[in-house]
Structure 1
Amino acid sequence: MAYQEIHTAAFVPADGLDTLSTELNTLTFPEHWRQAVLDFYAQTRSEKGRSEVLEHQSVPIKRLNHLLRAVAPGLVSIGRWAPTNTDQPWLYSEKEFSPQALMNYVSAWLKDMAPKEKGTQQTVAASFRPMLNTLRTMDPATLTWDRTPVELLRGTVSEGGTLLPDSSLYRLLPEYAASRVVASGPYRFAGEEVHWHRAAGYQEAELISDVLSYTPKSRDHTGNPWYYSGYLRFYLRTEPFSTVPRLHVETGIRRWTSGKANLQGTTGASAYLRADATLLPQAPTPDRLAVAYLQWDPRTKRPEWRTGGPMNMLENLAITDEFPDPESLVKDGTQWLTVGQGPQFALTYHTTMGRHSVGSGIMPEERRRLMEWVAAALEPEFVPIPALVRAEPPKGTVVIDRALEKTKKVTGDEVKKMALAEENRRIESRNARRRRAHLAEVLKGADLSAVVLYQNSGIRDQMIQAAEDSLDLAGHRDGQGPDTWVWRAPDLTVRITARLAGEITGPLGEATAPKRGGEFKEEAAKRRDLVKETVQGILSDSGGGVQVAYVELDGIKTSTGKRIFAPTQDPKGAIRAGAAQARIVSQFAKPYDPQDAPEEREEKARHRIESAWSDGLRQLGATFVPRAGEGGAIPANLTQIAFWMVRRNVAGKSSFSQFTPIALLSRGKGQIMGCSPDTQGWVSYRDLLCDLTGQVESPRNEQDQTAAVASFVRTTLQPYKFTDTLVLLHAQNSRNRWPWLGNAGLLQDRIKLGHGPDQRLAVLGKRMRVIRVASSDRAEVPQWWAPVEGKDAGFTEGLWRAGDDTSGRVFYSTGRKPSSAQTPKGVAKLTSRTVETGKFAEDGTPKTRDLHVPSAEARTPQLVQFTLTGLLPDDDPAAWACFLHEQRDGDDYREHLKLPVLLHLASKANEYAIPYEDTPEDEVLEDDAVVDLSDDEESQQMALF
């Protein structure tokens, strides 16, 4: 069905509403506390760290804010710079909160700051006196709550015409909206009611529904139910070149662990607590769900609370019996769940815990009904944003020259189906020959040599079959087995050498997980060297250069049946690093899933292996990027350049970070090229990936990284000053080190590099266009559905523009629904739903269909935003947006991509940001000190969306 509009889960103030006020209790971090806390924190750091603390005037308030989510969920903390920022309150609350109770949290926070004895959680003795002295200066009596009016629509407008809300509103306006929805009463449908409960938010306001249950009807099921809830998350966002704030509402399913929770191999799980009494002495009873974090501690071999930092501030507080022991929760998370009530204590499910019989996500028709309920609760102050309408440039404006043909949908009677299937086989054969010719061009006459390291011979055979099918090699086989296969086609020779993987794919440390730091470093180095030696040995034996390695990588079987690796045992990084040292790229293949039914295993494995083979060829730069054809509005000789910031953050296994800006280049044919500040001009995509692996020297601080990006962009674009060039940028990936990319910085047809002045785009290129792409990460682009009168809402592919867009520069793109997504669009999970099928039984009664299917996987294609920041005077914005929409439909990809092809390939470079070495255990930074370039400036960058 050709839907002509789509609706989004987003709301704007009603016409004429210029002011919206509420009253809240506010608390400012006391002035005389600031210097005392800063001095104490500086004393706990090394000499270098001390100078940085004093220079930046910063303390780890984020730890305390996380603690408050667990023990004081009614307190809303604004910004992580509150202890050094006097411009705004630190805490907001609908009710006053005991100063003495708050002081208990601050005491635990200070104790957590203090350095610990090596290998323990015991505070260094020398820190006790400074800590006590600091506490003596922090009199709880100085904590005074003020009743403060808050203007919820307060903001200014950027030079580019984009709204800049007051930073506090990114928390306060969503909280206001969530409270309105809860106060409106339960969600009702099909004669059922679902109640909702407020939960402690972080950068959003969250509602969690009553606990629901689902018992599968399969014969082999034990009869035990699986538990879940719905969630609603509220976010304040903005749109480029618009002065209107937006409330985005995200809907989804929160699955709870049912029975024993397996935390090994996970990064942790959130625990939601509904307290019937105060959690701590002198504190009020929480009026919303508290949120704490539970993780597996490999040192103690038991689950531990992790709140704000690794020192478990919860253990430094007098926790009542309302907070259960972590081990009892993990042994049976079901005991605190009661269907039809809010979670008393619920642990979130993680995919590494094994299977969950409840599927993820919500289908469009149920999302539509939920948003109608939300809209009724928010009116009259907020109304749904106008529908997005199709944006189609004049016919013939955009001409796409595709390298591969599209297969046809097989429908109709049996004769027609057979004919279409035969035609598809001929199309696939032609495509395979074109793919082979393209690969030969990319390799510039060299052979394609691949190594397959397998564990199951069936996977090896499927990889060989995938190679033959992908490149139309069946009639050109020139050698076969036992471990080498050779094909000699007129334009390309392909050689595959297959070997049993052996210990290469086993867990690091074998049966015992290595400790973080020195042990991990040693085990990773051993595996890396083994991979390098193995690949070089195969290279020597085969007589040809191995260019890509395919590795069948399995995990360790857990009690749940899931096969995963513990964090320090996962060999993937070491394998990829070893292959890169041998100057070859690598692709991992998932083996047979033991949880699949026997009749499904081969078919599912076939699809995975075909995808793995294709991904390996793409890493060689053999990717088709849709080209502009002759005679359209888009230049046929267009050069495309995509920028990406490759990051390796400091993590638990490694404290060696990386920040490397890269660029990919496509001229529509030939191989994909890449460059970075360390390459000498453009190199092959394969060489760029290999160069990113290892201890790449990178600028360490924000200022140097921002300057490096500006210099790199200027240098990369300089040769294309007089060439038709399209520059592609990704908002969420790059804006923290290229501030201009945030909504607040955008100016039409102008550009700003680093912290320099804005300038006309023509200064960089006379024929240059710039398009910024934003995805739905952090709900920055809303969820959506396609409505149709009298029928269930559904999905549709297309290019869209907002009905209230006045700039003409902002477009939205939806891809087609994945072929694997077969869930009916009307499926419901939060309530029952029965529909008539249109057929009748023998007695004349209508037949019905049960659409209450909690087990269904509900996948919604992403809505992606294109902001055409830079165009030439005569350009048609719709034509350029349409061309970029076509870039999401890559010729050699089965499904629509989340990002245009070139940006998609650039994002994959992050998989190669793997260090060769790790650091000794005593040098690994604490979790709160993790350099997270996507989050560390969130409070400063809130105005971006």
Structure 2
Amino acid sequence: MSNDTILQPIAFCLASDNAAVRERLAAHPFWVLEFPEDLKRRLRETQSRISGRALEESTPPHVVLNQAARLLIPDLISITSRITDSGVQPWLYGFVDQERPEEPPIESVLLRAMLNAWLRTVFRPLFPSPALMDLLQQVQTLPLVWRREEIDLCYWSQAPNGTARPYREIDQHCIQNGFVLMPDLVAARLAALELGNAQTRYFRFKRAPLAPGRRGCELVSWPPQRESQGTRTWYWSIVITVTLQTVPFQSYPQLHLNLSVRRWVSQPLRYTPAETISAYLLDSLPWLAADQQRQCFQVASLVRCSRKVRERASEETGPVLGYCWNDELVELLNELHWAERLPDPQQLTQEPSAWLERALTGRSPQAALAFRTGMRPDHGEGVGFSLSDRRFMVEQIAELLAPDFVLRSPLERYGTRRFIVHPPNPFFPQEKPDRGQPAQTRACAERRRAVAEALGERQTLTIIVRYQTATALQAVRLALCEVLGYPLESSEGTIWTTPELRLAVRSEPLGEMGRALGIKERSRGWAAEHWRLKIQERAEAIAQTLPEAADPCGVIIELPDADFFRQDGDPKAALRLGFARKGYLTQFLTPPTSDREGEASQDSLQERARSAVRDLLRQCGVLGAPPRLLLKARVQKPPFQIPEPLHYLAAWLIHRNRRGSETHLPQYLPIVVYLRSDSHLVLVRAPGFEDWLPYREAALQLARMEQARQRDHEAVRQFLLKTLHTLLPTRGETILFCDACNLRQSWPWLGNERITSSLPPELERFPQLRIVRIRTVSPEVPEWYAFDPKRQARGKDPYALSQGLFRDATNPTVFYSVQEKPPSAKNQVKSSSKLSHRPRKLAQTSEGERLPFDDPQGMAWNPRIVELTIARQSHEQRPDDVLMCAAVAHELRARIAVQFGAPTILPLPLHLAHRLEEYTLPLRPAELRPWQGAEEAAEESSEAGDDENED
């Protein structure tokens, strides 16, 4: 890759220096509606009086109200979450229809009807009838009035650190919020876009409301595209998500456009791993006249029923699960006499193509269910857009948005690997020697040496294979041979001794401990508690059959995926807990089940077995080599110096919500991981640990923490600062890695408007410390494409994928890391396209250039940008520190992890911290406030269907 390559973020900036643009955008109109503070106060007072709890602890449930707003109110830009909290305003933003600029999204009388229905639905079981009647009467006198406001989109202030603040606060309420309203302006223009040309398909877009609490606008191409292969048909759409973002120390905001594929459920649905499915509905609203109907989607959620509606004897299709609309939402709609207008859930899930075909033929109503990875049957459409598609769409969008918005300036590439020697990873050597050759033997010896370094001297590593099929057992034994050189002819349980390591391998059938948990049908109120009880019973039964592990011991367990267990209870969490209680680490091996793998299933199983062995070694704290980065000896004047030794710290908050936890309990647990550049040792500290523990012991200790921890941001911050204040005085040059999205709620200094290029005040006393703040989450970091100006000047195709460290010359402490594509994407062709209708055989030009060609099933992979913001002391004494920290963070993402032969999203210390989350499986809830706990659970559940887009 040429060092002349530059990176073009898919980010637009307002041309605010253009006088005509400033005049045109000085008064952008929008509708705003506030939730009456009097009603909030009455609700909290009534709730406090009835429950006997303090007024400040009362949080009236609001989630179903926002769900109803998302479904029933057209033309919404944004819905504020936790709207019943005191002072949280405004509730709704609506966009102004230019054809009806004086008509708000919905009349006040209809809003009152919706609020009445919400009160009767949610509070009838909680409040006595007189109190509820008083509230219903109060609603009739509430000032529910939309206000038509205007915002100067060319105005923004700056935070003390120089970061743009694209919003205004009026009476301590953020009313004129550019984060919400500038994307609305862009979405209004994109809704009129017909994307495409003579060589491609054509796409038109409709707006869809985002989930409560999410900022930005979403546009979905409609009608959907239809693809067929044999007798099967699939449907998909383009999704453009527009958000306004800021960059640390950058004085202006920028619009990020994320381009993704939304695949629609196209075959009768047999299984979904998610609790909810987002349904996109396009229908006329009964309270609007025919000439007032809006052409935007409404969104509601389907949930899995607690029982199976029927069983099919056919092994080909398997059991069919039942689905229904969210119970509280349906109850609210019944109060409005509108529930009968919702499509039948079983028809939607079992005849999805019939509803999608309505869109292609122009019939109404129309509906589509968002497909998510893991659903069965699988989807035939490939995910992601290729480089050619991405560039084509950006160029058309840029033309539409000009002259008001322009693409931001490109990022310059900085080739750090010209100066840095990367430590070789023996688990993934760059060369691929033949089996049995000396090089392979040396690689196995290096791996065994790395394992011994992690476990300590005179330790024996025991690996137990708990198998269900002889094929899986043989695959694991062969993987141990390939990875560690373990002789296949070794007898069962024999300790294999080498100069580097003592290794024992045993195998046993998994037996009854691997059967489903046998979850019975329970009411929704205590189903999660019943699930935890079953996990606890199985874990205790497993632990009783095991001896205490005397030496480091790991277990590779052959277990089908969650689809196999369906509603009967996946035993994975129970297996992990049961083995951990006796000191055993666990790694699961899932046999291939997809029909698409076909003849490659044996190769797939073998690769999974190798991955299982390597990941088990990662759990043991194994590093392929010390994370030591050196400057090349031949470099005469290196641009920076790397201290030796260099200490690495990673601060991470284990934050698992109910939906993402196998035990259906949230967990909020801070941890700190410590490495140093001249050592294989990985240490971990967490609340409840008496001291720093080796990585392996820390994983087991986390699994033994049965009590969930309550969310307490200040406690998290204090733990991190106390740990740093205790450790740093005894350490030399140190880099602390933090993920902004993961930790900024607990440590506000990590936010864009508070971060500084110097250390925060509480850490100023440690001049040897540098902090690297990382952002990886879309849409906070932009998508991108790369091009080479020299190739462009020669008339050749300049566009390509790229890798390396990039920077904005005007922002010296912010860098952008892009790693190479993984081996799994090596066959990706940049000219494959989901937009083009050109056959592949006609894609080659006479000059040898390849034009975009039709390839809807092709998978497109685009490396993610990782933003790096550096903070340090002694700017004058160490001017090269910023570049050194960025280069180290970039290189610690390269192929350095034991279990991945590809770059990781996070630098190694953060990656290791993140992976410890799999061992947090609490069985007893924290002492949460009951009202707050129930509301948070509902809010998390309501957002389950918001991540359907696949890049």
TM-score between both structures, scaled by the size of structure 2: 0.85
Distance 1:341 1:141 in 2: 44
Cα deviation 1:500-534 (Å, max 9, x = unaligned): 11222221117879971453233212211233234
SS of the residue 1:627 aligns to: coil
Q: Report the counterpart of residue 404 of structure 2 in structure 1.
A: 381
1:169 matched to 2:178: yes
1:811 matched to 2:831: no
1:660, distance to aligned residue in structure 2 (A)? 1.7
SS of the residue 1:32 aligns to: helix
SS of the residue 2:463 aligns to: strand
Distance 2:33 2:187 in 1: 22
SS of the residue 1:175 aligns to: helix
Cα deviation 1:300-343 (Å, max 9, x = unaligned): 85312228x67753444321654212222122111121365789
Question: Does 137-146 or 55-64 show the bigger shift?
Answer: 55-64
1:598, distance to aligned residue in structure 2 (A)? 4.2
1:887 matched to 2:892: yes
The residue type equivalent to 1:347 in the other structure is L
Q: Report the counterpart of residue 324 of structure 2 in structure 1.
A: 304
Q: Report the counterpart of residue 754 of structure 1 in structure 2.
A: none
Of residues 422, 429, 449, the one that matches 1:437 is: 449
SS of the residue 1:895 aligns to: coil
Residues 1:897 and 1:728: Cα distance change in structure 2 (over 3 Å): same
1:826-841 aligned within 5 A: 826-834=831-839
The residue type equivalent to 1:870 in the other structure is R
1:347 matched to 2:333: no
SS of the residue 2:820 aligns to: coil
SS of the residue 1:812 aligns to: strand
1:643, distance to aligned residue in structure 2 (A)? 0.9
The residue type equivalent to 1:859 in the other structure is W
Residues 1:520 and 1:780: Cα distance change in structure 2 (over 3 Å): same
1:272-421 aligned within 5 A: 272-278=280-286, 285-298=293-306, 302-306=322-326, 313-319=332-338, 322-338=341-357, 340=360, 344-350=366-372, 351-392=374-415, 396=419, 398-402=420-424, 404=426, 407-408=429-430, 421=433
1:635-714 aligned within 5 A: 635-651=643-659, 654=663, 656-668=665-677, 669-695=679-705, 700-702=710-712, 704-714=714-724
Q: Report the counterpart of residue 455 of structure 1 in structure 2.
A: 468
The residue type equivalent to 1:548 in the other structure is G
1:795, distance to aligned residue in structure 2 (A)? 1.5
Distance 1:131 1:299 in 2: 33
Q: Report the counterpart of residue 482 of structure 2 in structure 1.
A: 469
Q: Report the counterpart of residue 949 of structure 2 in structure 1.
A: none
Distance 1:84 1:406 in 2: 52
1:793, distance to aligned residue in structure 2 (A)? 3.4
1:620, distance to aligned residue in structure 2 (A)? 0.8
Distance 1:526 1:458 in 2: 30
1:60-71 aligned within 5 A: 60-71=61-72
Distance 1:367 1:90 in 2: 35
The residue type equivalent to 1:196 in the other structure is F
Are 1:517 and 1:653, in contact at CA under 8 Å, matched by a contact in 2?
Answer: no
Residues 1:399 and 1:521: Cα distance change in structure 2 (over 3 Å): closer
The residue type equivalent to 1:39 in the other structure is E
Distance 2:137 2:934 in 1: 28
Q: Report the counterpart of residue 860 of structure 2 in structure 1.
A: 858
Q: Report the counterpart of residue 16 of structure 1 in structure 2.
A: 17
SS of the residue 2:921 aligns to: coil
Of residues 525, 543, 554, the one that matches 1:532 is: 543
Q: Report the counterpart of residue 786 of structure 2 in structure 1.
A: 786
Cα deviation 1:325-374 (Å, max 9, x = unaligned): 22221221111213657892001112222211111111121011111122
The residue type equivalent to 1:306 in the other structure is N
1:45-56 aligned within 5 A: 46-48=51-53, 51=54, 54-55=55-56
Residues 1:259 and 1:404: Cα distance change in structure 2 (over 3 Å): closer
Distance 1:931 1:736 in 2: 21
Of residues 912, 929, 939, the one that matches 1:905 is: 912
Q: Report the counterpart of residue 743 of structure 1 in structure 2.
A: 752
TM-score between both structures, scaled by the size of structure 1: 0.85
Are 1:577 and 1:916, in contact at CA under 8 Å, matched by a contact in 2?
Answer: no
Are 1:212 and 1:830, in contact at CA under 8 Å, matched by a contact in 2?
Answer: no
Distance 1:676 1:85 in 2: 34
Are 1:359 and 1:854, in contact at CA under 8 Å, matched by a contact in 2?
Answer: yes
Are 2:797 and 2:849, in contact at CA under 8 Å, matched by a contact in 1?
Answer: no
SS of the residue 2:752 aligns to: coil
Residues 1:90 and 1:310: Cα distance change in structure 2 (over 3 Å): closer
Distance 1:510 1:134 in 2: 41
Residues 1:108 and 1:792: Cα distance change in structure 2 (over 3 Å): farther
Q: Report the counterpart of residue 118 of structure 1 in structure 2.
A: none
1:264, distance to aligned residue in structure 2 (A)? 5.1
Q: Report the counterpart of residue 158 of structure 1 in structure 2.
A: 159
Residues 1:653 and 1:607: Cα distance change in structure 2 (over 3 Å): closer
Distance 1:648 1:283 in 2: 47
Cα deviation 1:646-699 (Å, max 9, x = unaligned): 134345875644322111111132221111132222111111111112445566
SS of the residue 1:680 aligns to: coil
Q: Report the counterpart of residue 119 of structure 1 in structure 2.
A: none
Cα deviation 1:807-848 (Å, max 9, x = unaligned): 3111111111121122311222134234666879xxx99999
1:568, distance to aligned residue in structure 2 (A)? 6.4
Distance 1:594 1:654 in 2: 27
Q: Report the counterpart of residue 560 of structure 1 in structure 2.
A: none
SS of the residue 1:226 aligns to: strand
1:73, distance to aligned residue in structure 2 (A)? 3.6
1:378, distance to aligned residue in structure 2 (A)? 1.7
Q: Report the counterpart of residue 825 of structure 1 in structure 2.
A: 830
Are 1:21 and 1:151, in contact at CA under 8 Å, matched by a contact in 2?
Answer: yes
Q: Report the counterpart of residue 235 of structure 1 in structure 2.
A: 243
The residue type equivalent to 2:371 in the other structure is Y
Distance 1:797 1:490 in 2: 40
Distance 2:663 2:434 in 1: 53
Q: Report the counterpart of residue 313 of structure 2 in structure 1.
A: none
Are 1:694 and 1:917, in contact at CA under 8 Å, matched by a contact in 2?
Answer: no
1:239, distance to aligned residue in structure 2 (A)? 0.4
Are 1:641 and 1:665, in contact at CA under 8 Å, matched by a contact in 2?
Answer: yes
SS of the residue 1:92 aligns to: strand
Distance 2:913 2:345 in 1: 41
Are 2:670 and 2:720, in contact at CA under 8 Å, matched by a contact in 1?
Answer: no
Are 2:117 and 2:336, in contact at CA under 8 Å, matched by a contact in 1?
Answer: yes
**Structure 1: gaps of 5 or more residues:** 116-122, 410-419, 557-562, 752-757, 937-945
Q: Report the counterpart of residue 948 of structure 2 in structure 1.
A: none
Cα deviation 1:356-404 (Å, max 9, x = unaligned): 11111111210111111221222212111111110235954x4444454
Distance 1:885 1:208 in 2: 35
Distance 2:712 2:925 in 1: 23
Distance 1:746 1:425 in 2: 53
Q: Report the counterpart of residue 636 of structure 2 in structure 1.
A: none
1:61, distance to aligned residue in structure 2 (A)? 3.8
Residues 1:438 and 1:382: Cα distance change in structure 2 (over 3 Å): same
Of residues 530, 542, 567, the one that matches 1:519 is: 530
Q: Report the counterpart of residue 198 of structure 1 in structure 2.
A: 207
Residues 1:131 and 1:810: Cα distance change in structure 2 (over 3 Å): same
The residue type equivalent to 2:491 in the other structure is Q
1:215, distance to aligned residue in structure 2 (A)? 4.0
Residues 1:34 and 1:849: Cα distance change in structure 2 (over 3 Å): closer
Residues 1:929 and 1:111: Cα distance change in structure 2 (over 3 Å): farther
Distance 1:7 1:535 in 2: 56
Distance 1:534 1:188 in 2: 67
Distance 1:916 1:144 in 2: 47
Are 1:263 and 1:296, in contact at CA under 8 Å, matched by a contact in 2?
Answer: no
**Structure 2: gaps of 5 or more residues:** 97-102, 168-173, 310-321, 634-639, 944-951
Distance 2:130 2:119 in 1: 12
Distance 1:127 1:281 in 2: 38
